Amino acid sequence: MATVCTLAWVHGLVQGVGFRYSTQREGLKLGLTGYARNMDDGSVEVLACGEAQQVEKLIAWLKAGGPRSARVDKVLTEPHQPDRQWADFSIRY
Q: Out of 37, 38, 68, 92, which one is annotated catalytic? A: 38
Question: Is 38 labeled as catalytic in the residue annotation?
Answer: yes
Q: Out of 20, 25, 68, 84, which one is annotated catalytic? A: 20
**3-state SS of 10-66?**
EEEECCCCCHHHHHHHHHHHCCCEEEEEECCCCCEEEEEEEEHHHHHHHHHHHHCCC
What's the chain's length in residues? 93
Q: How far apart are CA 27 and CA 90, in angstroms?
A: 9
Catalytic amino acids?
Answer: 20, 38
